[in-house]
Amino acid sequence: MLHELTKGIIKENPLFVQLLGTCPALATTSSFANAIGMGAAFTFVLLGSNIVISAIRKFVPDQVHIPCYIVVIASFVTILEMIMNAYVPALYAALGVFVPLIVVNCIVLGRAEAFCHDHGIVDSILDAIGMGIGYTIALASIAFVREILGSGKILGFTLMPASFTPILIFILPAGAFITMGFVFAFVNHMRAKGEAK
């Protein structure tokens, strides 16, 4: 049982291992706070859609299951948009079009197809929480590198010595690609080392 929860964090991490959901991972990681916000928003949608889809999976005819799943996911995204607009308008504005685009995030539909389709509600809840935490950690680690190099601060606290000149490019689009490239290379390196042992 616990395995369903922990697998998403390292062994089947949605971003680093399954290579899904790369668009938001580049776009929303220019600051640590935005990355955590995106991770939380994503977890909310995944949790909601996993619960509903695992509950209705037996009533949905097989030929139309993908459109049905998309409707469920899109409904949760719409709810999320309203909640964010009402309570965290600044974060909602910062994430912009990437909040509605959770609909087409391959991880959400991927979990529905690969996991909820033949698992019960409890397992699906654990799976959603695990995947959500795994994705949030992945976003946060990319954002941590980018923000610390790009501005020298994390969440408003200055961490670098005064002599450090912020490397502006790291919070621009080009910095997103290069940071993610090196983070992926590091993950590959660690996995190759782990397998060699």
Partner 1 sequence: MGGTFGILFSAALVSNVILAKFLGLCSFLGVSKSFKNSFGMSAAVTFVMMLATAASYGIYYAFLVPTHLEYLKTLVFILAIATLVQLVEMFMRKNTPALHKAMGVYLPLITTNCAILGVALLNVTLNYDFIDSMVNALGTSLGYTVAILLFSCIRERMDETQLPPCLRVLPIALITASCMSIALMGLGGIH
Q: Applying CB under 8 A, which residues contact partner 1?
A: 19-20, 22-24, 26-27, 67, 70-71, 74-75, 77-78, 81-82, 97, 100-101, 103-106, 109, 169, 172-178, 180-182, 184-186, 188-189, 192
CB of 9 to partner 1, least distance (A): 21
78 vs 158, beta carbon nearer partner 1: 78
Dihedral over Cα of 92, 94, 96, 98: its sign:
negative
The rounded distance, in Å, linking the Cα atoms of 170 and 178 is 8
Place of tokens 């948009």: 81
Cβ proximity to partner 1: between 29 and 151 the closer is: 29
Q: Are 138 and 18 in contact (CB under 8 A)?
A: no
Shortest distance, position 16 Cβ to partner 1, whole Å: 10
- B/e letters for 114-123, b = 16+ CB within 10 Å, e = fewer, are ebbbebeeeb
Beta bridge partners of 157: 154
| Beta strand segments in the chain, E | 153-154, 157-158
Smallest distance, partner 1 to C-beta of residue 168, A:
11
Q: Which distant-in-sequence residues (6+ apart) come within 8 Å of 113 by Cβ?
A: 66, 69
Which C-beta is closer to partner 1: that of 3 or that of 177?
Answer: 177
- Of 155 and 172, which has the nearer Cβ to partner 1? 172
Residue 85 C-beta: closest distance to partner 1, Å:
9
Number of H helices, E strands in the chain: 8, 2
Strand partners, 153: 158
> Is the CB of 164 or the CB of 177 nearer to partner 1?
177
Q: Which residues contact 116 (CB under 8 A, 6 or more apart)?
A: 50, 53, 54, 57, 124, 127
Smallest gap from residue 46 Cβ to partner 1 (A): 15
Report in angstroms how near the CB of residue 1 gets to partner 1 at its nearest.
31
Residue closer to partner 1 (CB basis): 17 or 125: 17
